[in-house]
Structure 1
Amino acid sequence: MSMISGLDRAFRRCGGAALFALALLLPLTVLAQPADPASPRARLDSIRGELTQIEASLTNPNVSDDELQRQRLRLQPLLDQLRLLTDEQVPRTEQARLRLEQLGAKPDANAPPETPDVARERDTRTKSFAEADETLKIGRATLLQAEQLQSSIGDLRRDRFAKALFAAGPSILNPEVWSTTLTAFPADLRASQFIFGDWLSVFTTALFSPRGVLVALSFLGAIALYVARARYMPRLTARLARSVDSSDRHMLYVALIRVVARTAPPALASWLIYAALNTAGLLPPRIQPVILAIVFGLALIAFVQALVDALFAPGEPQRRLASVMESTAKTVTWMASSLVIVMAIGKVFEAWLQAIAAGLTLSIIVRGVFATIFAVILIVGLYRLRDNQEIEQEACLGPYVPVDGASLGPVRILGWVVGVAVLLSLLLGYVVLATFLTEQVIWLGILAAVFVLLMQLIELGISSQLTGEGRLALTLRAGIGLRAATLQKIAVVLSGALKIVLIVVTVMLALAPWGLESTDFLTSLRAAFFGFQVGGVTVSLSSIVVAIMLFALGLAATRSLQGWLEGKFLPTTSLDTGLRNSITTAAGYVGYAAAAAVGFSSLGLSLERLTLVASALSVGIGFGLQSVVSNFVSGLILLWERPIRVGDQVLVGDAEGIVKRINVRSTEIETFDRSSVIVPNSNLVSGVVRNRVRSDRTGRVLISISVPRTLNPTEVRAMLLDAGEAHGDVLKKPPPNVLFKKLGTATMDFDLICVVGEVDIVGRVTSDLNYVIHRRLSELEVPPPGAELTVRGLEGVEHSLGEIAAAVSKEVGRRAKPASGRVSVKRSGPAPEVEEEPEEAPASPGARTEPAASGGKDESKD
């Protein structure tokens, strides 16, 4: 027992000592532990180390472009991590600050001291806030360093590109260049024979080996593809030509089918041969660029020819997508095919010179010769595209024929500039610049053709698929339950978004060969939108020009958005005209503000500086621009409250008309005599305005008539009601109504009251009803009988007048008788009749004439 107790005491002593040693070593082990690798500070320190390595690599003056590109790719994920880290650290810092502020201010020396718990909590929260704030500040500084490194890499690459592009060398007209080339040409020829002869011998030997079977099959497959293209392409063309559908959408689909059918076989055949040679190991490093240039050239030639044929369709105007004449279509097709063939052959020769390690002078001559041929073909084609006087006069005769000079004017001017620039560059020794310009002509031409095809595909394809009677539209309407109007809105929005994406991608692809990459573009946009700036404001001519250009682009984009809303999207909705105008105007305000913000951001003007400027100008605005600001605010009130809308019929003072437009400062009212009245917005808000269509747009037709008392008032009322109900524009609810307004001594007054659906048609309906009512009243009124006047006691006077008339008629007939006969005038009929009587002897002097008792006939007595 004593032994056990002794061991227990010894163990306790050792255990106590061990615990004491462990307590002493525990803080040291804690201090020796590394920081958590997942903590923001550890991630930040790791990123800073990589940025230091990238920055050290840029100090090397002989760094290559490939190394710069590699460092750029290495830097991009670091930038994304830094932006994510700072975004995560901002709310953490804000939370730490709020927790610290919850404890209140630290008491001063005269105040009672804090309790130990509060003091301990204050120290903990102060330390947390300091750490979070320090991490945030270091993160922002590191992000700035990374963005500066990205800008430095981009500047270095563009500087190297500019130096290489504008490097001056000897001109192709320099005799020393030709003499040096002729001297070194035999050696270059021997090198070509050695390299290509050796490759041909290896290739010939490989044909009789198992590898040759693969190569032979690839060549047979390529030949089969070309034969199929030559055989089935005419059949496809004839089949498409027999189609009766002549819509724009069908023509676009035919063009796309022809592009694929004409491009796919040559491209696939070229790739098949290249893949077979590469798989068989028959492409040594020096031969591979030459074969690759041949393969790429054949595919490029087929693609460009297919694009030009799809757009211009020489000889087939019925499927031509570009609105040009036949002569222009043939010239453009010839020019594009010739240019791409020259460039493809030139690339093959450049690869050959690289393979044999030819001298500089031979490379200059080869590039210069092909660039000269390219420029000559371009100039000749542009010269053939001119519009002479005969063509313009012929276009003015008969139906309208578009002359290509106006539509192709900018393209022709740019082509002339490029052609002359290529020739001048060759003469001055800038061979690299000349070659680069020739490549850009082909590249921009391909981009333009593809852009036109894709733009038409977006415009016609999406609308036809979503708004037509196609399978997709029917599925969406029947399966999902979308209405046709909703699908039309979706089609408009989707096509607009795709067009914007297409324009941005096309611009970036066009600028890519000049050294501008997508990351540069996105960085610029980020700096413009978020107002990133370094130090103070730096104002220069370039920044002002960029600001003006950005502001102009913003205005153009805003106008395009307003036109799209007003012309395409809003008409598909059921909104009234006034609300459409309010939405369009509000979009314009937002767009103008965004354009101004982007312009000021490019100048480096932050919101604080703009606030100071606005506060300095507040006094001037209060006195000098008071009316302008008042009208502007009134315009916003009109757009928001909408007491007056576009299309309303209003009366302001003595002016009455239709509201046509609500602008920033004033409102335009068109009166009924086609004149415009400009009313300040403040007058409409603070003044008295009579709006005839405020609640609805129904109109009231009032026709007042007066009829004689002889008519039956019930029949008049029925006639008026029937005329109002028979008109198609008169509403059935409420129905027309007739009021018996007044009963006079000789007349009765009635009012016909009708309601029409639109106030604009009140005048036309009133006119139509007046015509109908006038015709119906004419049928109701009985015409009065004619008055007769009888006078008695004048029979003797009537008899005497008859005898006098008969005697006068007899005397006139006797004097007018010709020598061959006698003419008598009879008045018994409605018109006098003249007849000839046979010749008889003249009457004796004793003869006399007596009137007949009836007074209606003349008789002669002997």
Structure 2
Amino acid sequence: MTRLFAALRAATLLFLLAVPAVWAQPEQISYDVWEEVATRAEEAVADADASTEALEALRSEVSIFRDRLLTQQNAGDPRLTTLQSQLAALGQAPEDGSEPPEITARRAELQRQINELQAPLLRAEEAYNRADGLIAEIDEIIRSRQTERLLQRGPGPFNPQHWAPALTSLVQPFTEIASEALANWNSDVRRKALTDQLPLILLLFGFAFLLLFRAPKLIDRLGAWLRNKTRRGTGVWRTLLSLLRLMLPVGGLILLVVAINLGGLLGARGSEIIFVLPLILFVVLVARWLAAETFSTDDEINTIALSQQRRTEARYYVNSLSWLLALNQLFSYLVEIGEWAVETQAVLGFVIHLLCGLVLFRLGQILRHAGPHDLPEDAPQEESAYLSFPSRLARMAGQAAMLVGVVGPILSAIGYFNIAEAMIFPTVMTLGLFAFLLMCQRLMRDIYHLITGGQLDESQSLIPVVSGTVLTLAALPVLALIWGARVADLTELWARFQAGYRIGETQISPTDFLTFIVVFLIGYTLTRLLQSGLRGSVLPKTKLDKGGQTAIVSGMGYLGVFLSVLIAITAAGIDLTALAFVAGALSVGIGFGLQNIVQNFVSGIILLIERPISEGDWIEVNGQHGTVRDISVRSTRIETFDRTEVIVPNADLVSNSVTNYTRGNTLGRLVVDVGVAYGTDTRKVEEILYKIARNHDMVLMNPEPFVHFKGFGADSLDFDVRMILRDVTKILVVKTEVNHQIAETFKKEGIEIPFAQRDIWLRNPEALSGAAQKPAAPAPVSETDPEEHSA
């Protein structure tokens, strides 16, 4: 619990440190005071006897100076840039000394002013490096001490010599408290003071009992009233009321402790210990609240898929862990104030560790069965694939809890008390943190339902993913503190971020990052607005076709993004000159590896400029027919008539032959072939075909249809009808309708459409007469030419 409250303090401290440094005015630094602090820090680092608390205090002072030095280092005089540009305008002094004296004097004066302005910056930079080095040395010493303490082996809990002192130490603090209370009661002065404070004490007792026993029932009634009055958002009210029900009993216990302390009966020892009771109650109530929210009996608010029986067991074990955690907090406090010896802590701590290990192992077994219908541990992979993220997380947490539940008590039994302490209770608090995150994500869904009135579909919405990511990032510092990280470690990460990173000769600070992001977002937004205006207002009023409009809008988007990145880099002051050498070295390899991508990219630009094809065109490429749906810089998406998507690299559209059936217009030619039997009046056939073609709505009369008498075929007289259609995309529909009309008209006029006929001639037919007596080889069959043997 000490780590938990340290985590809360650290979160508050990080929030206060997160105020942008660009808004703070640079504070003047007293280098005399800094020299004194730095000297003391160097002496403490050199002195191996300095306590960890003293080192932490010195580190805090040095860190404050380092932040001020960084602020002063970044807040340079704007005149410095102007002077440097003036000096650069004068150029280098000629080697032969032929420069006019006034130019030489001016150059020297500018250099003198630049040196004066750079002196404070150089001094701040030197002091900053010194402070940074001192902080690194102090952190190294503290970490080494923590590691030594963690690996230190203490007395074993199975030594019988430690059992009797442990039992005596267990009851000794409470015996001393009772003795102090009895002695104070026998004092007339104490009893008179109690009598004077009795009205206030009774009032506090009344409020305390009201908050402890009466307030929960009133909260339940308020929840029932809200559920009856509101049709939606009951999940939000339920969570808020559960938080209120958590805090009110803690407030009642605090009032009760204050009332007891006002009586004056408790001595110094009792006053120290009694104020730990609200903390213990808070731990227990938080655990009960998380257990009720995570393993609820209501299926609608249950975050982990478990059966009702397993949920009940899980709540029982979580409540047991809460009491063990609270008891360990009390024991740790007694050790901290010097009431218990190390041997007593080892014996009593082992009992707590063993009980926590057993409860963690059993709770881990329950969590390993999380999933729909309590999937078994050896469930097939295809069934486990349907587990939700909370259930997967619960299964992994269950396996970790089982491992800690076995290893922790074993380490405590062999004397590694600190390692066991650092494993068991952080595991318990980590499980509580995971449960809190799942509850917060469920609260997000309830808030969405309260605002919109609809249920949040997690499979089709990014809200759960975004909220889960934000909650996870916010929980990382707390998780680090739970597992032993210091507050100084987190503040050091923030200090490193403030210091920035060096790319080449350029130091990129958080202000540069922020400037780059803001400028790029502004440029990107303006580009999208410009594209929207062109697409919706300007281009539709021009004579450009749809493909040309799309090309202009796409080109404007690429140009806008490129300019946004360029302007953002310039505004942030990022000098990428140093990266030119690296880019030059990598350009050859990248050129060979990405030549196809670059080729397609250039081809895409050519397609957007020349526009040989446009969106909506019917084209044929690589044997694929389809409609162009999208043209990007790398590839073109074509939708075939089978409703499949074909991704064609732009290089194929530029270098290969492409047939565009609808380029510029939708006119196209249809050719229908037909044959009639020999002996048919060809003039009559021609007249019928002309009539059919001219009477169709989709056929143009200019140019008019043409009937072509192709010639004399093997089985028929061959004709074809050539028609220009006003919409070539309807070619199959028109062809089908024309064929129907030709078949119906020919049938009505008695014109025969022949089909191929063949005669089969057998050689040596007399050999078939002996087929019944003996098997004979099959006679050769020959197919004669129909021109030699007609039907």
TM-score normalised over the length of structure 1:
0.59
Residue aligned with 2:430, SS: helix
Cross-structure match for 1:486: none
The answer as to 2:343 corresponding to 1:374 is no
Q: Deviations over 1:779-828 (max 9, x none)?
A: 997985999xxxxxxxxxxxxxxxxxxxxxxxxxxxxxxxxxxxxxxxxx
| Gapped regions of structure 2 (runs ≥ 5) | 1-24, 455-460, 506-523, 536-548, 566-574, 675-684, 710-718, 752-791
- CA 1:685 to 1:676, structure 2 compared with 1: closer, same or farther past 3 Å? closer
Asked if the contact 2:314/2:366 (under 8 Å) is kept, the reply is no
- CA 1:177 to 1:99, structure 2 compared with 1: closer, same or farther past 3 Å? same
The answer as to 2:475 corresponding to 1:506 is yes
Mapped partners of 1:532, 1:523: distance in 2: 21
Q: 1:135 aligns with which of 120, 123, 134?
A: 120
Cross-structure match for 1:364: 346
Q: How does 1:262-341 map to 2 (within 5 A)?
A: 262-276=245-259, 286-314=269-297, 316-341=298-323
Cross-structure match for 2:16: none
Aligned-partner residue type, residue 176 of structure 1: Q
In the TM superposition, what is the alpha-carbon distance from 1:430 to its structure 2 partner? 2.0
In the TM superposition, what is the alpha-carbon distance from 1:344 to its structure 2 partner? 1.1
- CA 1:102 to 1:779, structure 2 compared with 1: closer, same or farther past 3 Å? closer
Mapped partners of 2:147, 2:402: distance in 1: 23
Mapped partners of 2:266, 2:617: distance in 1: 79
Q: 2:596 aligns with which of 602, 622, 631?
A: 631
- CA 1:93 to 1:206, structure 2 compared with 1: closer, same or farther past 3 Å? farther
In the TM superposition, what is the alpha-carbon distance from 1:639 to its structure 2 partner? 7.3
- CA 1:633 to 1:496, structure 2 compared with 1: closer, same or farther past 3 Å? same
In the TM superposition, what is the alpha-carbon distance from 1:317 to its structure 2 partner? 1.2
Cross-structure match for 2:131: 146
Aligned-partner residue type, residue 365 of structure 2: Y
In the TM superposition, what is the alpha-carbon distance from 1:345 to its structure 2 partner? 2.5
Mapped partners of 1:661, 1:93: distance in 2: 52
- CA 1:463 to 1:82, structure 2 compared with 1: closer, same or farther past 3 Å? farther
Asked if the contact 1:508/1:518 (under 8 Å) is kept, the reply is yes
- CA 1:192 to 1:278, structure 2 compared with 1: closer, same or farther past 3 Å? closer
- CA 1:652 to 1:257, structure 2 compared with 1: closer, same or farther past 3 Å? same
In the TM superposition, what is the alpha-carbon distance from 1:426 to its structure 2 partner? 0.9
Residue aligned with 2:154, SS: coil
The answer as to 2:151 corresponding to 1:174 is no
Residue aligned with 1:439, SS: helix
Aligned-partner residue type, residue 322 of structure 1: I
Report sequence identity in percent.
18
For structure 1, which segment, 335-344 or 667-676, has the greater mean C-alpha deviation from structure 2 after superposition?
Answer: 667-676
Higher gyration radius (CA) = 1
Residue aligned with 2:276, SS: helix
Cross-structure match for 1:515: 485
Aligned-partner residue type, residue 742 of structure 1: P
Mapped partners of 2:288, 2:555: distance in 1: 47
Cross-structure match for 1:70: 57
Aligned-partner residue type, residue 129 of structure 1: I
The answer as to 2:513 corresponding to 1:530 is no
Mapped partners of 1:86, 1:526: distance in 2: 12
In the TM superposition, what is the alpha-carbon distance from 1:368 to its structure 2 partner? 1.8
Aligned-partner residue type, residue 705 of structure 2: K
Q: 1:345 aligns with which of 327, 330, 342?
A: 327
Cross-structure match for 1:687: 655
Q: Deviations over 1:550-588 (max 9, x none)?
A: xxxxxxxxxxxxxxx9xxx99xx999999999999x99x
Mapped partners of 2:554, 2:262: distance in 1: 64
Asked if the contact 2:226/2:234 (under 8 Å) is kept, the reply is no
Mapped partners of 1:529, 1:630: distance in 2: 33
Mapped partners of 1:239, 1:581: distance in 2: 60
Mapped partners of 2:27, 2:223: distance in 1: 65
In the TM superposition, what is the alpha-carbon distance from 1:422 to its structure 2 partner? 1.3
| Gapped regions of structure 1 (runs ≥ 5) | 1-37, 471-491, 534-564, 592-605, 722-735, 756-761, 788-862
Q: Deviations over 1:348-373 (max 9, x none)?
A: 34435556723322222222211211
User: Aligned residues, how many?
Assistant: 638
- CA 1:528 to 1:194, structure 2 compared with 1: closer, same or farther past 3 Å? same
Aligned-partner residue type, residue 630 of structure 1: Q
Mapped partners of 1:655, 1:749: distance in 2: 25
Q: How does 1:534-549 map to 2 (within 5 A)?
A: none
Asked if the contact 1:79/1:147 (under 8 Å) is kept, the reply is yes
Mapped partners of 1:54, 1:646: distance in 2: 71
In the TM superposition, what is the alpha-carbon distance from 1:63 to its structure 2 partner? 2.8
In the TM superposition, what is the alpha-carbon distance from 1:391 to its structure 2 partner? 5.9
Asked if the contact 1:706/1:749 (under 8 Å) is kept, the reply is no
In the TM superposition, what is the alpha-carbon distance from 1:169 to its structure 2 partner? 0.4
Q: 2:400 aligns with which of 406, 414, 429?
A: 414
Aligned-partner residue type, residue 510 of structure 1: L
Q: Deviations over 1:589-629 (max 9, x none)?
A: x99xxxxxxxxxxxxxx9999766665666x63xxx65324
Q: How does 1:455-604 map to 2 (within 5 A)?
A: 455-458=441-444, 461=447, 465=451, 468=452, 500-513=469-482, 514-516=484-486, 517-525=489-497, 529-530=501-502
- CA 1:754 to 1:452, structure 2 compared with 1: closer, same or farther past 3 Å? farther
Asked if the contact 1:157/1:515 (under 8 Å) is kept, the reply is no
For structure 1, which segment, 219-228 or 253-262, has the greater mean C-alpha deviation from structure 2 after superposition?
Answer: 253-262
Aligned-partner residue type, residue 595 of structure 2: S
For structure 1, which segment, 161-170 or 185-194, has the greater mean C-alpha deviation from structure 2 after superposition?
Answer: 185-194
Residue aligned with 1:530, SS: strand
- CA 1:408 to 1:42, structure 2 compared with 1: closer, same or farther past 3 Å? closer
Mapped partners of 1:339, 1:81: distance in 2: 45
Mapped partners of 2:576, 2:311: distance in 1: 54
Residue aligned with 1:319, SS: coil
In the TM superposition, what is the alpha-carbon distance from 1:175 to its structure 2 partner? 2.4
In the TM superposition, what is the alpha-carbon distance from 1:747 to its structure 2 partner? 9.6
Cross-structure match for 1:163: 148
Q: How does 1:423-822 map to 2 (within 5 A)?
A: 423-458=409-444, 461=447, 465=451, 468=452, 500-513=469-482, 514-516=484-486, 517-525=489-497, 529-530=501-502, 621=589, 626-634=591-599, 636-637=601-602, 643=608, 652-654=621-623, 683-684=651-652, 687-688=655-656, 690=658, 720=697, 741-742=704-705, 744=707, 753-754=726-727, 784=748
Mapped partners of 2:464, 2:227: distance in 1: 29
Aligned-partner residue type, residue 263 of structure 1: L
Mapped partners of 2:361, 2:344: distance in 1: 26
TM-score normalised over the length of structure 2:
0.64
Residue aligned with 2:705, SS: strand
Residue aligned with 2:147, SS: helix
Residue aligned with 1:318, SS: coil
Q: 1:216 aligns with which of 202, 223, 245?
A: 202
Aligned-partner residue type, residue 223 of structure 1: F
Asked if the contact 1:582/1:639 (under 8 Å) is kept, the reply is no
Aligned-partner residue type, residue 302 of structure 1: L
- CA 1:766 to 1:420, structure 2 compared with 1: closer, same or farther past 3 Å? farther
Q: Deviations over 1:259-292 (max 9, x none)?
A: 3243132222223334555677777653344223
Asked if the contact 1:648/1:692 (under 8 Å) is kept, the reply is yes
In the TM superposition, what is the alpha-carbon distance from 1:462 to its structure 2 partner? 6.0
Asked if the contact 1:40/1:85 (under 8 Å) is kept, the reply is yes
- CA 1:412 to 1:580, structure 2 compared with 1: closer, same or farther past 3 Å? farther
In the TM superposition, what is the alpha-carbon distance from 1:497 to its structure 2 partner? 7.2
Asked if the contact 1:89/1:135 (under 8 Å) is kept, the reply is no
Mapped partners of 1:125, 1:769: distance in 2: 86
- CA 1:521 to 1:352, structure 2 compared with 1: closer, same or farther past 3 Å? same
Mapped partners of 2:732, 2:76: distance in 1: 75
Residue aligned with 1:408, SS: helix
- CA 1:71 to 1:500, structure 2 compared with 1: closer, same or farther past 3 Å? farther
Asked if the contact 2:194/2:263 (under 8 Å) is kept, the reply is no
In the TM superposition, what is the alpha-carbon distance from 1:339 to its structure 2 partner? 0.6
